[in-house]
């Protein structure tokens, strides 16, 4: 009877402490000390599991000092891990009456001798979800079996400790919710089951304009913009009823009457009986995102400096004009126009004035053209012009003369009379080709001939310009020899995480040890390799060699890295790139997610269905996909929606002047924001100084590569570079 009274008194004391709001550690220590007072010559302890290393650590042991507790910490659950270790290992109560002999203590027998513990009884502590999260133990300095009273004491103690821990967890969750509610950047609104607003957070007030006092007692109809019909709201609430939530874009009205887009999430809250008691809604203002998307969409089809169509839009217009010209038996003139000596003007006047000057030249060119003609800036001081519905070559020549005269006419600028000239190359449809690539390539060849002829002139393409393809043939033959004689080598440029500063990957870049001309960069032969189809064999070698080298680095003890490999449109057209990648991964043993294929934006204009099928196969395999040189001419949000891309690579042409050119800075910022909205990582290439790095870090870019960290290195030099950073 006395023992029962003692147990009841233990329960009463602890429950009163819990009711008074005593700190949970104090309450658990109180349980331990009361247990020790009821069991002579014994100490008690509470140990909890650490989810990170799956070991037990002392949570409470009021009779032990810090050094004694340190000896017990890190106890690993095992058959020989003592009473507490076996509670976790065997998921059951453990009563050990002789710690000096019992096999359950064989791994920590030294602790029994150090502490003088001769018997130890341990019982599980359960979470609110009935999972064992720790142990409550009584350790005695004498050999003995637990009596019925001792067993009941352990049961009650463990149950009380569980109550205290679960109550503390609930209170902590409530405190965290309050902090999230008050500090969230998203607007939050809580209503009752009848949709009456109970509370809103500060972010809601800032976003919607309604204070808590304004909103309480009203319904969410105060936010209605009037732009959605009854069907929209009926569908929304049907989703909440059927699935417990709804997420989507909605237009709402602020208190000041402004209508704006939001991302709204509504979730129902049920009690233990499954009855809906509340609704929680979160709001995110999409105004800036919509504005950024609109800007990016414009930039994806227009030149940021001049506002002219970019190469993608221009190409579309040319390809649309060709069948019309064919049907009407007209000609098209494709002009490649380059300003002469513009670099001198740019250097003399400064880049800001140079940009203004480019815009003025662009306006002059536009004013010369007809309504059906098109013009785009192809980068720098080069423009491409489409002369539409030309009757003959003379009509094209007349327009070329007008352009030459207009550009060479001086005009007042920055307090001076400015004049320059231009060189124009002309290709004619259908004489010189029937597609963009051929016409544009031949127009540029003619433009280069105009430059060589002294500038301020124009040249029409002639087949003679193709006759300097001796160089082409020599390179093509040399590439076949290079494959046979193993003259290729890969160099690797490190890719750095801006979050950790660690090397997380490398881009594989091919080099050619030409027997006569020495080391050749890819710019000197890749285009010819694509034109001859040799890029398929070269590309296969590059993928396999990059995978092999990445695996070799792993075997040598270097941290696992992602290896990025550029792939050509020609490789995709062959239709078996996915099989070649699988073969390389199987042969080298590299994990698929360690390989990243970099796709050029021009590739996205290929046969979409054929391309998607191959990309889907690669993604299912686990290979990562990136768009290389993003933003240089073919950027489109439509492509990003269709292709399962992991990463965007910002072209170095934007990074180079990011600290001097506000347009480049804006483009980079817009690309990063858009990519993160689409859950894509962003890497910037061409980072050459700390100022660039600082700007990219502030913009939110994820990763970088460039000469600031390292030029492309041989495999051996790259390994040394990695070792130096470990």
557 to each of 484, 552, 560, 653, 722, how far by Cα in Å? 32, 9, 9, 36, 11
Structural tokens at position 644: 């399962």
In three-state secondary structure terms, 511 is strand
Whether 366 and 297 have beta carbons less than 8 Å apart is answered as no
Q: How many other CB atoms are there within 10 angstroms of residue 297's CB atom? A: 15
Which pLDDT belongs to residue 532? 79
Of 179, 195, 223, the last residue of a domain is 179
Mean pLDDT for the chain overall: 85
Which pLDDT belongs to residue 290? 75
380 found inside a domain: yes
The span from the CA of 211 to the CA of 222, in Å, is 12
Task: Check whether 273 has a pLDDT greater than 50.
Answer: yes
Report the percent of the chain where pLDDT is more than 70: 90
Which pLDDT belongs to residue 643? 75
Task: Tally DSSP H helices, then E strands, for the chain.
Answer: 26, 26
Task: Check whether 89 has a pLDDT greater than 60.
Answer: yes
pLDDT digits (tens, 9 = 90+) for 652-704: 888 988 988 888 889 899 889 988 988 999 999 999 999 999 999 999 999 99
Are 599 and 645 part of one and the same domain? yes
- Of residues 376 and 468, the one with the higher pLDDT is 376
Classify residue 343 by its DSSP letter.
H
Structural tokens at position 26: 């104090």
Confidence of residue 7 (pLDDT cuts 50, 70, 90): low
521 found inside a domain: no
CATH code for position 383: 3.30.70.270
Confidence of residue 254 (pLDDT cuts 50, 70, 90): very high
Are 688 and 629 part of one and the same domain? yes
The span from the CA of 689 to the CA of 708, in Å, is 5
Are 257 and 319 part of one and the same domain? no
CA atoms within 13 A on the CB side of 101: 3
Classify residue 229 by its DSSP letter.
-
**∠ CA 380-384-390 to the nearest 5 degrees?**
165
Q: Could you tell me the end-to-end alpha-carbon distance of the chain, in angstroms, rounded to an integer? A: 68
Most confidently modeled of 283-292, 345-354, 642-651, 661-670? Answer: 661-670
139-160 as b/e: b if 16+ CB within 10 A: bbeeebebeeebeebbebbbbb
Confidence of residue 156 (pLDDT cuts 50, 70, 90): confident
Structural tokens at position 384: 């491409």
Which pLDDT belongs to residue 118? 93
Are 170 and 189 part of one and the same domain? no
What range defines the domain where residue 581 resides?
Answer: 489-516+530-725
Are 251 and 357 part of one and the same domain? no
34 found inside a domain: yes
CATH code for position 173: 3.30.450.40
Structural tokens at position 653: 């042409």
430 prior amide bond cis, ω within 30: yes
The span from the CA of 607 to the CA of 407, in Å, is 40
Confidence of residue 269 (pLDDT cuts 50, 70, 90): confident
Are 444 and 493 part of one and the same domain? no
481 found inside a domain: no
478 found inside a domain: no
**Mean pLDDT of all residues in 101-122:** 92
Which pLDDT belongs to residue 615? 83
388 to each of 16, 374, 445, 462, how far by Cα in Å? 91, 8, 21, 21
Confidence of residue 283 (pLDDT cuts 50, 70, 90): confident
522 found inside a domain: no
Closest CA to 21 of 177, 166, 164, 136: 164
Structural tokens at position 87: 């509670």
pLDDT digits (tens, 9 = 90+) for 387-419: 998 888 878 888 888 888 888 888 777 677 777
Closest CA to 299 of 664, 698, 678: 664
Directed axis angle between helix 148-183 and helix 24-38, to 10°?
A: 180
Task: Check whether 18 has a pLDDT greater than 70.
Answer: no
pLDDT digits (tens, 9 = 90+) for 585-634: 999 999 999 999 998 766 665 566 777 788 888 889 999 999 887 766 55
Classify residue 76 by its DSSP letter.
P
In three-state secondary structure terms, 657 is coil
Confidence of residue 154 (pLDDT cuts 50, 70, 90): confident
Are 656 and 675 part of one and the same domain? yes
Q: How many other CB atoms are there within 10 angstroms of residue 689's CB atom? A: 11
Q: How many residues does the chain have?
A: 726
The span from the CA of 492 to the CA of 510, in Å, is 9
Instruction: Tell me the pairing of strands 562-567 and 503-514.
Output: parallel
Q: Mind spelling out the 3-state secondary structure of 657-705?
A: CCCCCHHHHHHHHHHHHHHHHCCCEEEECCCCCHHHHHHHHHHCCCEEC
Q: Mind spelling out the 3-state secondary structure of 141-155?
A: CCCCCCCHHHHHHHH
Phi-psi region of 615 (alpha: psi -120 to 50; beta: other; left: phi over 0): alpha
Are 175 and 193 part of one and the same domain? no
Task: Check whether 510 has a pLDDT greater than 90.
Answer: yes
Which pLDDT belongs to residue 6? 59
The span from the CA of 416 to the CA of 439, in Å, is 38
Which pLDDT belongs to residue 682? 94
Which pLDDT belongs to residue 178? 62
Closest CA to 578 of 609, 642, 621: 621
Closest CA to 642 of 667, 605, 684, 598: 605
Of 285, 305, 321, the last residue of a domain is 285
CATH code for position 248: 3.30.450.20
233 found inside a domain: yes
Confidence of residue 75 (pLDDT cuts 50, 70, 90): very high
134 to each of 5, 455, 466, how far by Cα in Å? 27, 84, 81
pLDDT digits (tens, 9 = 90+) for 524-558: 888 888 877 888 899 999 999 999 999 999 999 99
**Mean pLDDT of all residues in 561-568:** 92
CATH code for position 570: 3.20.20.450
Are 279 and 331 part of one and the same domain? no
Number of structural domains, the chain? Answer: 4
Q: How remote is the C-alpha of 122 from its chain's centroid?
A: 48
Residue carrying the six token digits 């400015």: 418
Are 245 and 331 part of one and the same domain? no
Structural tokens at position 579: 């099989």
Are 219 and 276 part of one and the same domain? yes
Task: Check whether 463 has a pLDDT greater than 80.
Answer: no
Of 243, 262, 285, the last residue of a domain is 285
Whether 389 and 322 have beta carbons less than 8 Å apart is answered as no
Are 313 and 272 part of one and the same domain? no
476 found inside a domain: no
């Amino acid at each position: 009877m006395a023992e029962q009274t003692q147990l009841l008194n233990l329960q009463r004391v602890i429950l009163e402490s819990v009711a008074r709001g005593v700190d949970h550690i104090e309450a658990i220590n109180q349980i331990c000390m009361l247990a020790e007072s009821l069991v002579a010559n014994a100490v008690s302890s509470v140990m909890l599991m650490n989810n990170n290393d799956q070991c037990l650590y002392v949570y409470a042991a009021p009779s032990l000092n810090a050094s004694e507790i340190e000896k017990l910490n890190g106890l690993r659950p095992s058959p020989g891990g003592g009473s507490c270790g076996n509670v976790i290992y065997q998921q059951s109560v453990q009563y050990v009456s002789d710690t000096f002999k019992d096999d359950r203590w064989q791994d920590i027998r030294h602790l029994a001798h150090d502490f003088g513990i001769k018997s130890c009884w341990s019982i599980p502590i359960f979470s609110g979800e009935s999972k064992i999260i720790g142990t409550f133990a009584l350790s005695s300095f004498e050999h003995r079996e637990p009596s019925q009273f001792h067993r009941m004491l352990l049961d009650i103690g463990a149950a009380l400790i569980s109550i205290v821990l679960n109550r503390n967890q609930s209170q902590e969750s409530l405190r965290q919710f309050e902090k999230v509610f008050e500090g969230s950047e998203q607007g939050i609104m809580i209503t009752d089951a009848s949709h009456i607003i109970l509370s809103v957070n500060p972010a809601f007030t800032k976003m919607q304009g309604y204070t808590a006092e304004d909103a309480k007692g009203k319904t969410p109809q105060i936010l209605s913009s009037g732009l959605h019909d009854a069907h929209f709201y009926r569908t929304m609430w049907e989703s909440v009823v059927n699935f417990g939530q709804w997420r989507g874009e909605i237009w709402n009205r602020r208190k000041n009457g402004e209508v704006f887009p939001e991302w709204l999430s509504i979730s129902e809250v049920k009690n233990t009986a499954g009855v809906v008691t509340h609704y929680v809604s979160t709001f995110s203002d999409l105004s800036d995102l919509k504005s950024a998307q609109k800007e990016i969409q414009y930039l994806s089809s227009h030149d940021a400096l001049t506002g002219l169509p970019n190469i993608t839009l221009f190409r579309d217009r040319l390809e649309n004009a060709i069948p019309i010209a064919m049907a009407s038996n007209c000609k098209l003139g494709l002009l490649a126009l380059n300003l002469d000596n513009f670099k001198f003007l740019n250097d003399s006047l400064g880049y800001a004035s140079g940009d203004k000057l480019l815009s003025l030249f662009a306006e002059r060119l536009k004013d010369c053209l007809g309504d059906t003609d098109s013009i785009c800036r192809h980068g720098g001081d080069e423009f491409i012009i489409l002369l539409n519905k030309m009757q003959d070559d003379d009509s094209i020549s007349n327009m070329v003369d007008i352009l030459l005269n207009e550009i060479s006419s001086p005009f007042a600028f920055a307090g001076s009379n400015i004049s320059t000239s231009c060189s124009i190359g002309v290709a004619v449809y259908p004489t010189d080709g029937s597609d963009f690539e051929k016409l544009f390539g031949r127009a540029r060849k003619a433009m280069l001939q105009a430059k060589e002829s002294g500038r301020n002139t124009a040249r029409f393409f002639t087949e003679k310009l193709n006759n300097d393809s001796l160089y082409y043939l020599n390179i093509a033959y040399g590439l076949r020899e290079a494959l046979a004689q193993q003259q290729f080598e890969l160099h690797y440029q490190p890719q750095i995480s801006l979050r950790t500063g660690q090397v997380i990957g490398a881009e594989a870049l091919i080099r050619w040890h030409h027997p006569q001309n020495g080391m050749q960069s890819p710019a000197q032969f890749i285009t010819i390799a694509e034109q001859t189809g040799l890029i398929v064999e070269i590309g296969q070698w590059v993928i396999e060699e990059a995978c092999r080298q990445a695996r070799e680095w792993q075997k040598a003890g270097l941290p696992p890295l992602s290896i990025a490999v550029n792939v050509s449109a020609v490789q995709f057209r062959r239709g078996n790139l996915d099989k070649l990648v699988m073969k390389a991964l199987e042969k080298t043993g590299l994990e698929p997610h360690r390989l990243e294929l970099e796709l050029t934006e021009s590739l996205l204009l290929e046969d979409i269905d054929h391309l998607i099928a191959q990309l889907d196969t690669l993604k299912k395999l686990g290979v990562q996909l990136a768009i290389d040189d993003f933003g240089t001419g073919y950027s489109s949000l439509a492509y990003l929606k269709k292709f399962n891309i992991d990463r965007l690579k910002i072209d170095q042409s934007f990074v180079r002047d990011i600290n001097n050119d506000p347009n480049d800075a804006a483009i980079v910022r817009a690309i990063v924001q858009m990519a993160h909205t689409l859950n894509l990582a962003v890497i910037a290439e061409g980072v050459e100084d700390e100022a660039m790095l600082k700007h990219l870090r502030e913009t939110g870019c994820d990763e970088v590569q460039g000469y600031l960290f390292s030029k492309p290195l041989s495999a051996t030099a790259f390994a040394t570079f990695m070792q130096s950073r470990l």
